[in-house]
Amino acid sequence: MALNPSCVGKSYPLSRPYPVEPETIRRFAEAVGDPAAVYTDQQAAQALGHPSVPAPPTFPFVVVARALDEVFSYDEIGFDPTYLVHGDQCFEYARSVRVGDRLVTAVSITGAKNLRGKDVLTLRADVADTSGEHVVTLRLTFVSLTAVKGGVGDAASR
């Protein structure tokens, strides 16, 4: 598979709304090992001035990953996700994601290049509530690791 540089600049249609529910946030906070009451208790959230329970800061990546699954085709970009790892990640928040949000994500490709033999894909994702309020912008890089010889991702073994 070879990267198709003409994809750089491409924007994808908005994702379907991602409804943020209390259980989604509780489960995520538990999985990242954060027992703070603000992630499960409406009163604790309100005491800090939140209208509803907020999500931990890295939760928006889950929303964006869901949007990528929906709108994205790695084939079209020529990026092999068989052995995908994260290169870097940036979040710029307008506010916290919170219970009751219905989040839509606009994804665009900001870069696609081969660095030291590895394909590197750079994306931007703008997450907004269905009311149009901007919530958070993510910038991220995915790296496609090359399979070791004989692995399922090793083209020579196919």
Partner 1 sequence: MPLRAENVEVGDELPARTVTVTRQGLVRYAGASEDFNPVHWNPRVAREAGLPDVIAHGMLTMAIAARTVTDWAGDPAAVVEYRTRFSRPVVVPDDPAGASVEVGGRVVARLDDGLVRLDLVVTSGGTKVLSDARVTVRLAS
Interface ranges with partner 1 (CB under 8 A): 27-28, 30-34, 36, 38-39, 48-50, 54-58, 61-62, 65-66, 82-93, 95-96, 145-148, 150-154
Cβ 96 to partner 1 shortest distance, Å:
5
Q: CB of residue 145 vs partner 1: minimum separation in angstroms?
A: 5
Nearest CA to 3 out of 86, 138, 151, 117 is that of: 117
Phi, psi of 157 (to 5 degrees): -95, 0
Tell the smallest beta-carbon distance from residue 5 to partner 1 (Å): 23
The nearer residue to partner 1, 10 or 42, going by C-beta atoms, is 42
Alpha helices by DSSP H, listed for 2-153, are 22-31, 42-47, 60-71, 74-77
The nearer residue to partner 1, 6 or 92, going by C-beta atoms, is 92
Closest CA to 95 of 142, 140, 31, 48: 48
Closest distance to partner 1 from the beta carbon of 154 (Å): 8
Residue closer to partner 1 (CB basis): 96 or 105? 96
Query: Pairing relation of β-strands 134-144 and 84-93?
Result: antiparallel
Q: How many CB atoms lie within 10 A of CB 56?
A: 17
Residue 61 CA to its chain's centroid (Å) = 4
Which is nearer to partner 1, 10 or 66 (by Cβ)? 66
Task: Specify the DSSP class assigned to residue 20.
Answer: -
User: With respect to partner 1, which residue has the nearer C-beta, 3 or 135?
Assistant: 135
CB 3 → partner 1: shortest distance, Å?
18
